[in-house]
């Protein structure tokens, strides 16, 4: 049986920030290969470059040097509109702070990225309904975010990321704003999605959560210092 195709490939990725003539090397020569269907955790202390790496993976930022191939195409030199289009279609984001829009219902929050994509109404409805069912939030479709608990809001955020059938889910400290019970519940949801075939890359500083992944990449001072395969 052939191994799954490489979905994300970084070669020699470096990110340098310039402030007041001081160079900060956020990432130094990162090599990374993530295959379709993998669940990878990126772990390390605060300020080690994890979030910078996730921003580059999510096309929110560009590397200073090196190459990034996503789904077979080099993306580091694409124009801003092309990057936005790929972000909308290929990448599902799950943020620590949920990033839901307060005056939109749960349903509308999940639907919004699909509207930007120009997806027909009937298709949007099917995609939103399916995504909300997957995360166990179908019964809350008409509620506003303020009427939900933190754990429920994060489930809606996961549904929003899922609805567009992205190639990869990028989760940035997805349990950071949740108590341990809700955090465990969101981690279980991600594990279930992975079992269903989703490719997940999760940034976390919590080794307990990193163990949910198949593989953990440890970053320190902008470099990969260790890679471990988790035994499940």
pLDDT tens figures, 130-143: 999 999 999 999 99
Rounded CA separation 141/128 (Å): 9
Q: How confident is the model at residue 152 (pLDDT cuts 50, 70, 90)?
A: very high
Q: Which two tokens stand for residue 204?
A: 């976390």
Rounded CA separation 55/42 (Å): 13
* Burial (CB count <10 Å: 0-12, 13-18, 19+), residue 214: middle
Residue 2 has pLDDT above 60, yes or no: no
- Tell me what pLDDT residue 212 has: 87
Mean pLDDT value of segment 90-99: 90
pLDDT tens figures, 102-125: 999 999 999 999 998 888 999 999
- Tell me what pLDDT residue 117 has: 86
Domain ranges in the chain? 37-60+79-229
- Tell me what pLDDT residue 232 has: 60
Mean pLDDT value of segment 23-31: 90
Residue 85 has pLDDT above 80, yes or no: yes
- Tell me what pLDDT residue 219 has: 93
Question: Which pTM value belongs to this model?
Answer: 0.90
Q: Which two tokens stand for residue 211?
A: 């163990």
Residue 1 has pLDDT above 60, yes or no: no
Rounded CA separation 112/128 (Å): 10
Q: How confident is the model at residue 86 (pLDDT cuts 50, 70, 90)?
A: very high
Q: How confident is the model at residue 59 (pLDDT cuts 50, 70, 90)?
A: very high
Residue 3 has pLDDT above 70, yes or no: no
Please provide the size of the chain in residues.
Answer: 232
DSSP string, the chain: -PPPPEEEEEEEEEEEEEETTEEEEEEEEEEEEEETT-EEEEE--TTSSHHHHHHHHTTSS--SEEEEEETTEE-TT--HHHHHHHHHHHEEEE-TT----TTS-HHHHHHHHHHHTT--HHHHHHHHHHHHHHTT-GGGTTS-GGGS-HHHHHHHHHHHHHHT--SEEEEESTTTTS-HHHHHHHHHHHHHHHHTT--EEEEES-HHHHTTSSEEEEEETTEEEEEEE---
Mean pLDDT value of segment 3-25: 87
pLDDT tens figures, 157-196: 999 999 999 999 999 998 888 888 888 888 999 999 999 9
Q: Report the CATH number of the 37-60+79-229 domain.
A: 3.40.50.300
Q: Which two tokens stand for residue 102?
A: 């307060």
Q: What percent of the chain clears pLDDT 90, i.e. is strictly above it?
A: 66
Q: Which bin fits 14, alpha (ψ -120 to 50), beta or left (φ > 0)?
A: beta
Rounded CA separation 7/200 (Å): 11
């Amino acid at each position: 049986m052939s191994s799954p195709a490489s979905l994300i490939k970084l070669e020699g990725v470096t990110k340098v920030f310039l402030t007041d003539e001081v160079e900060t090397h956020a990432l130094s020569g990162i090599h990374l290969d993530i295959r379709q269907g993998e669940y990878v955790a990126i772990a390390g202390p605060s300020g080690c470059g994890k979030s910078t790496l996730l921003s580059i993976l999510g096309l929110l930022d560009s590397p200073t040097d090196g190459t990034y191939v996503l789904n077979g195409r080099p993306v580091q030199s694409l124009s801003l509109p092309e990057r936005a289009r790929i972000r909308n279609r290929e990448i599902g984001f799950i943020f620590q702070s949920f990033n839901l829009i307060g005056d939109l219902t749960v349903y509308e929050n999940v639907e919004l990225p699909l509207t930007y994509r120009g997806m027909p109404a009937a298709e949007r409805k099917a995609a939103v309904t399916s995504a909300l069912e997957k995360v166990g939030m179908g019964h809350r479709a008409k509620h506003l975010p303020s009427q939900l608990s933190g754990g429920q809001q994060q489930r809606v955020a996961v549904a929003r990321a899922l609805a567009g059938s992205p190639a990869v889910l990028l989760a940035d400290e997805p349990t950071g704003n949740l108590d341990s019970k809700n955090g465990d519940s969101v981690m279980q949801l991600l594990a279930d999605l992975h079992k269903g075939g989703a490719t997940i890359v999760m940034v976390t500083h919590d080794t307990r959560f990193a163990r949910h992944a198949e593989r953990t990449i440890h970053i320190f001072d902008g470099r990969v210092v260790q890679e471990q395969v988790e035994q499940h």
